[in-house]
Amino acid sequence: MEKMPKWADVVLIPIISLLLATILSAIVILAIGEDPIEAVNLMVTGALGSTYGWGYTLYYATNFIFTGLAVAVAFHARLFNIGGEGQAMLGGLGVAIVCLSVPWPHWTIALLAACAASMIFGAAWAAIPAYLQAKRGSHIVITTIMFNFIAAAFLNYMLVNVMRPQGSQDPATARFPEAVHLPTFQSMFSTAENVMFRGAPANISFFVAILACFVVWALIWRTRLGYEIRAYGHSETGAVYAGISPVRITVIAMLISGALAGLMAINNVMGEAERLVLNATEGAGFIGIAVALMGRSHPFGVFLAAILFGFLYQGGAELALWTSIPRELIVVIQALVILFTGALDNMVRIPLEKLFMALRKGSA
């Protein structure tokens, strides 16, 4: 028998966790002598009160959808892919190479090629930890973390020594040519008299991210591969009994996960920066872990959680801009949300389960 209804699991727990995180954040803001109501107000108006704000919120959300999906797919195979950050960095390298080396006639073709390249590079970066886990039993958490550092160092080297244009002091690639610039929300939704999303980085990649949600959903719950991934994730001995190769599933799940993380680069590198810079991922790979946890590894949950974290990122930036609340506090607030929605899941879950048991007894 289930301990509590499913809606409580997927809706109530995240909301309560979020409320707790908000309350704690409010206390911290009060403690440093600022007004929490005013702070929330600023965050909401800053992130959601204008198309400009939405343009940033959705831009961040796009990154988090990709990395959240990446973590979610691996979770289904009970693999903890901490390497989204490094895989997304490598994805960026793939995008940069594709955009700079071929004179693309139109952004559509370039986008397809960039998608393919970012996925291949991201998957390749995940392939080594996947192989080591599957064949040698090296724990995927450890290897993917280490691969984040290797990716950062590798990208540093590539940008400084290989891809930096001659004479430039900046460890970044050259700007991508005009033809591969992706349509932003501003160019897509503005009319002559009404300019929307002015200057905001949200771009067409957001729709690629939504498409990716559908694809991942179909993959996990509608295909034989998804069936095998979930079966392996629930029981390795069961998988062996059913003739599902643990090695094969480990490698494939990680390749898909790495490809999704790499795909993020079409948003931040191709869509926003339009060149590859150092630390382009800005921690989105790690946020993806929280997003997947909060979204219960379901693409729709990942989508909602990604929007929430996009809001926190953009609202936090606004807060730092307009108040004397220090930048660091924003990180604290974000950390509280991650802590409550991700790590402290059981703190809310167990009392809630007890409550539901008691309620059920009362009504019986």
Q: Contact positions toward other proteins, by CB under 8 A?
A: 1-2, 218, 222-224, 227-228, 230-231, 234-235, 237-238, 240-245, 357, 360-361, 364
Query: By C-beta, is 157 or 241 nearer to other proteins?
Result: 241
Q: Which H helix or E strand runs over 118?
A: helix 107-131
Query: By C-beta, is 232 or 313 nearer to other proteins?
Result: 232
**Residue listed under structure tokens 């190479």:** 97
CB of 225 to other proteins, least distance (A): 10
CB of 245 to other proteins, least distance (A): 7
Q: Is 277 helix (H, G, I), strand (E, B) or coil?
A: strand
Q: Specify whether the CB–CB gap between 79 and 137 falls below 8 A.
A: no
Query: By C-beta, is 218 or 321 nearer to other proteins?
Result: 218
CB of 227 to other proteins, least distance (A): 5
Q: Is 341 helix (H, G, I), strand (E, B) or coil?
A: helix
CB of 239 to other proteins, least distance (A): 9
Q: Specify whether the CB–CB gap between 230 and 76 falls below 8 A.
A: yes
For residue 184, list its beta bridge partners. 203
CB of 353 to other proteins, least distance (A): 13
CB of 223 to other proteins, least distance (A): 6
Question: How far is Cα 136 from Cα 153, in angstroms, rounded to an integer?
Answer: 25
Question: How far is Cα 189 from Cα 208, in angstroms, rounded to an integer?
Answer: 17
138: Cβ contacts below 8 Å, ≥ 6 apart: 129, 132
Nearest to 312 by CA among 121, 64, 87, 71: 64
Burial profile 110-131: b = 16 or more Cβ within 10 angstroms, e = fewer: bbebbbebbbbbbbbbbebbbb
Query: By C-beta, is 48 or 244 nearer to other proteins?
Result: 244
Query: By C-beta, is 135 or 222 nearer to other proteins?
Result: 222
Query: By C-beta, is 192 or 364 nearer to other proteins?
Result: 364
